[in-house]
Amino acid sequence: MKLIKLALVTLSISFALLSRAEDGSRLWLRADADAQAQVSANKKGESIAIAVQELQTQWKGAPVQLNMVGKTRLPNPDAFTITGDSRNGVNISASSEKGLLYGAYHLLRMQETGQLNGELNIAESPSYNLRILNHWDNLDGSIERGYAGQSLWRWEQLPETVSPRYREYARANASIGINGTVLNNVNASPQILKTEMLEKVKVLAGIFRPYGIKVYLSVNFSSPVILDGLKTADPLDKTVQQWWKNKAAEIYRLIPDFGGFLVKANSEGQPGPQDFGRTHAEGANTLADALKPYGGIVMWRAFVYNPSGDDRAKQAYLEFTPLDGQFRDNVIVQVKNGPIDFQPREPFNALFGAMKKTPLMPELQVTQEYLGFSNHLVFLASMWKEFLNSDTYCKGEGSTVAKVTDGTVFPNKLTAIAGVANTGDNTNWCGHHFAQANWYAFGRLAWKHQLTPAEIADEWLRLTFSSDIALVNPVKEMMLSSWETTVSYMMPLGLHHIFAWSHHYGPEPWCAIPGARPDWLPSYYHQADNTGLGFNRTTTGSNAVSQYESPLREILNNPNTCPENLLVWFHHIPWNHTMKNGRSFWEELCYRYDAGVQQVRAFQKIWDRQENRVDAERFCHVQSRLKIQSKDAVWWKDACLLYFQTFSKRPVPYDIERPVNELEELKMIKLHLK
Ligand code: GCV
């Protein structure tokens, strides 16, 4: 009898464990839902109901009162205050339902991260009014640059069948303040605007709405021609303008709070206003006029470059600065953080600060197209903070990118930030468990760009793994150094775009495809020759430095003052150039690559020590990804050093790890990735 009982107990324990599989699906929302908190609200509403339910089931403190207050007290609808005492009674106030929901998630986060110690006196208002994920999801379910499976959106099943993941997605976003989602790829299929697709979009919008999330769509500029056979898509043509107006009316009949359009035009083969001799502003304004009556906006991307044009790093600036002041007030220009394309490290795009009469929104890439896909552990908050803290000097010292985009330097009503999503239908959402931290970090920084990477990593680890400081401290250090580490083993000292052709995983600095666009080849960027390495963007070269304000342009123009981590971005540096630490440039390059390899190995040790603090499932998953990262780091180091050595003709310093690969063998590697 005893034995049977024991067997039953064991069985039920294992069922309990099974039902709690640590597969990462719960993201950072892992609080037990077994509380029975007293929660009341002075108003009813769908979002308030969610806030009440979240608190009732997870809040372990004193009764909570949700108060809807007037706009005069809290003008930003997303802002909230939390006052009172976690042991005697808590008040969350906001001027909108969304604000109350954000307040509820904030309070729960404080509880789960151990930040409650009695009195509460919190006032939060977001840095950016629009905090938007961009999904590069295609209508066939594939995701451009997606490394976590297929699209979350099951278009073929919608509108009838609704996946439970839609709500989970909305909840995760709301919990970190994300309030917008662009559902489809910027390389947009015109089909997204067909009525039957809009009916499907309507269902998603309905699920996301109570979570405070608006839906936006990427649109193809040729839609009027492709969908309805118009003779032209010329934005100044009256029939084209009417077509967009009719389409907007149709969308808003279905989705009254539709957010607006995101547009990639005249870029990488996409159609646009220039096809008809019109400017980006004329194109954007036609769409903006159609959306204006309903409160919609246009996010017009500045990611443009042309093979026959000037230095690629200069082109967006050259095309867009002459248009400053010509955009309607419901247009915001969306600019990637750097002037090339989400490279491991870039200087900020000189458009930030240069467009003084046009609101700009930063576009960050959460998905790791150029950072090891979902195989490498890279915590991107560090990179985004470096970018946001970069000083543009556009209105004197301290005009950081953050301040020129959040409404501080230029009083824009429209403030926004976008992140290219890393989600897919993988059980753990992002492929790598630690890639979830980047989704989390994007939301947290969009809400409050003053947060430090350390604060964000700390929160995320406590929410996702454990609050045990024996885990939090070392793993946080690993996260905080992971971006710099990756830069070291991939592209140190300002190297950029030396990736393998097309899929961007792994090194191919030698890549030469006959007939290929020169600006899609690594040699365009690294310019290695017997004298040295790097792209001369100084006054004696492409003069990209002149797009930056003084004194930054002078700082960048001089190899002795240019930050060493951007040295070969701006300069062609002789192999024997003396670095600040006294080493030659060639030696420093070797040491940086080697340091990257050693650091990933150190990450493996840090992680392995966590074996008893992390559930087996996630532990093993991360452990095996770190093995890949470690091997890839060696691959990067050997490929780049052996290849650049054919130009430098100098020895790899004898105290660093010797190459374990042959250059000719590395050149034979051809990965068949998308
Ligand atoms: C969506 C890079 C990527 C493309 C992407 C493009 C863009 O070129 O490799 O996949 O296309 O950027 O941002 O539009």
Residue nearest atom 2 of ligand 1, based on CA coordinates: 341
pLDDT digits (tens, 9 = 90+) for 26-85: 999 999 999 999 999 999 999 999 999 999 999 999 999 999 999 999 999 999 999 999
Strands 130-134 and 180-182: parallel
Instruction: Write down the number of H helices and E strands in the chain.
Output: 20, 15
Tell how far the Cα of 135 is from the centroid of ligand 1, in angstroms.
12
CA 438/CA 456 separation, integer angstroms? 10
Q: CA torsion 107→94→258→215, rounded to 10°? A: -10
393: left (phi over 0), alpha (psi -120 to 50) or beta: left
Question: Are 364 and 495 contained in the same domain?
Answer: no
Q: Is 369 a catalytic residue?
A: yes
**Which amino acid does the sequence have at 567?**
L
Give Cβ neighbours of residue 212 (< 8 Å, ≥ 6 apart).
Answer: 47, 78, 97, 98, 101, 102, 174, 179
Q: Choosing from 54, 78, 282, 341, which is the catalytic residue?
A: 341
**Measured distance CA(252)–CA(159) in Å, rounded:** 17
Q: Considering the domain boundaries, does residue 553 fall inside one?
A: no
Q: Are residues 137 and 102 in the same domain?
A: no
Residue 435: inside a domain: yes
Asked if residue 486 lies in contact with residue 376, where contact means CB atoms within 8 angstroms, the answer is: yes
Q: What is the pLDDT of residue 9?
A: 44
306: number of Cβ within 10 Å: 14
Average pLDDT, the chain: 96
How many domains are there within the chain?
3
CA atoms within 13 A on the CB side of 669: 20
Residues 118 and 144 in one domain: no
Report which ligand 1 atom has the smallest distance to the Cα of 504.
Answer: 9
Residue 154 and residue 231 in one domain: yes
In order of 227, 383, 443, the CA distances from 136 in angstroms are 21, 21, 18
664 belongs to the catalytic site: no
What CATH code is carried by the domain that includes residue 624?
3.90.1330.10
Mutate to test the pocket of ligand 1, among 142, 145, 343 (most ligand atoms within 8 A of CB): 145
Q: Which residue numbers in the chain have pLDDT < 50? A: 1-19
Query: 259 and 323 share a domain?
Result: yes
Closest CA to 189 of 267, 271, 251, 250: 271
Instruction: Note whether residue 303 is domain-resident.
Output: yes
Same domain, 142 and 232: yes
For the chain, the 3-state helix, strand and coil shares in percent, each to the nearest 5, are 45, 10, 45
Q: Of ligand 1's atoms, which has the minimum distance to the CA of residue 145?
A: 10
Q: How far is CA 221 from the centre of its chain?
A: 25
Of the residues 107, 124, 141, which one is the last residue of a structural domain?
124
Q: Classify the C-alpha dihedral 24-26-30-32 as positive or negative.
A: negative
Same domain, 54 and 157: no
Same domain membership, residue 63 and residue 39? yes
Predicted pLDDT of residue 21: 75
Instruction: Tell me how far the alpha carbon of residue 383 is from its chain's centroid.
Output: 10
438 domain residue, yes or no: yes
Q: Which sign, positive or negative, has the C-alpha torsion 266, 221, 189, 424?
A: positive
Of 101, 124, 147, the residue that ends a domain is: 124
* The pLDDT of residue 20: 58
CB crowding 41-67: b at 16 or more within 10 Å, else e: beeebebbebbbebbebbbebeebbbb
Distance, in Å, from the CA atom of 593 to the CA atom of 639, rounded to the nearest integer, reads 10
189 Cα: distance to centroid of ligand 1 (angstroms) = 15
Cα angle, residue 118 at apex, residues 112 and 122 outer, rounded to 5°: 75
Binding-site residues, ligand 1, Cβ < 6 A: 136, 144-145, 185-187, 264, 268, 303, 341, 369
- Asked if 383 contacts 370 with a C-beta cutoff of 8 angstroms, the reply is no
Would you state the pLDDT for residue 8?
A: 45
Which CATH number covers residue 94?
3.30.379.10
> Considering the domain boundaries, does residue 8 fall inside one?
no
3-class DSSP assignment, residue 180: strand
What residues contact residue 345 under an 8 Å CB cut-off, 6+ apart? 383, 487, 491, 494, 496, 565, 566
**pTM given for the model:** 0.97
* The three-state (H, E, C) secondary structure of 241-293, written as one string: HHHHHHHHHHHHHHCCCCCEEEECCCCCCCCCHHHHCCCHHHHHHHHHHHHHH
Last residue of a domain, one of 79, 107, 124: 124
* Residue 673 included in any domain: no
Q: Are 423 and 450 in the same domain?
A: yes
Does 99 share its domain with 220? no
**pLDDT, tens digit, for every residue of 384-413?**
999 999 999 999 999 999 999 999 999 988
Residue 556 in any domain: the answer is no
Q: What is the dihedral of CA 560, 566, 571, 576, to 10 degrees?
A: 60
Do 450 and 492 belong to one domain? no
pLDDT of residue 413: 86
Tokens 């003779």: give the residue.
231
Q: Is 587 a catalytic residue?
A: no
Q: So what's the pLDDT on residue 597?
A: 98
- Specify whether the CB–CB gap between 82 and 106 falls below 8 A: yes
Pocket of ligand 1, candidates 299, 341, 368, 519: which has the most ligand atoms within 8 Å of its Cβ, to mutate? 341
Query: What CATH number is attached to the domain comprising 217?
Result: 3.20.20.80
In a domain, 558, yes or no: no
What is the span of the domain harbouring residue 604?
Answer: 487-535+572-667
Q: Is the same domain home to 62 and 143?
A: no
Q: Which pLDDT belongs to residue 6? A: 45
